[in-house]
Amino acid sequence: MDTIEKSTVTDTLTVSAVALLELLEGASTHADKGKSALRALSSVEIKGEGGRLSARATDRYRGIEGEIEGEGGDLAPSLIALDDVKRVIALAKDSKLARLAFNRAGDLLTISVSGSAITIQLLDDNYPPSFNDLFAKGEPTPMGEINFNPAFMADYAKINAKSKLNAVNPVKLEFRGAGMPIHIGLIGDKVKWRALLMPMRVI
């Protein structure tokens, strides 16, 4: 299981507000918004590595991970509650032409821009394992029938609508076999996306 690291990260990672907005609005669609949701699932995890910022979320039925280009150092995996994600989104919306700086010290994450800053208390919860294993399983396979919740397609439409290329690059569904996750192909404007949708069992 992935865990939130306790170490102090002093490197500063900066990203454009426009790219961050697309990343967090897209990733947060896959967080669990149910009243009885586990805190680890009602959140978005971000991580900075090699000057790039990634965000991922899952509600057990779907998983999504996006990555944008940034500048600067690394950022330890940081689990942010949905309410705080909304605060970061609001900050990005108010600063669309600027760059936002991320700094983590212990369990506190500070995001600053143009003299304004917010500090977030990170969640101390175990986050589900990464999606790497799920993405690696199986090859494209012809399928006669599959079941999924069509309401989830609305979120993919919203994410794809952010791309200037969505008219020529529609959402792509790739089936890897019975009972295996459906791979969702999304074209972002600033974000490199990958997503999974779990098929539903019919009872």
Its sign, for the CA torsion 128, 133, 134, 135, is positive
Structure confidence by residue, pLDDT tens digits, 80-123? 999 999 999 999 999 888 999 999 999 999 999 988 899 999 99
| Residue range(s) occupied by CATH 3.10.150.10 in the chain | 9-121
Model confidence, pTM? 0.85
Average pLDDT over residues 135-146: 71
- Residue 61: predicted pLDDT: 87
Q: What is the mean pLDDT of the chain?
A: 86
Q: Which CATH number fits domain 9-121: 3.30.470.20, 3.40.50.2300, 3.10.150.10, 1.10.1740.10?
A: 3.10.150.10
DSSP secondary structure letters along 117-186 = EEEEE----PBPPPSHHHHHS------S-----TTHHHHHHHHHHT-TTTTTS--EEE--STTSPEEEE-
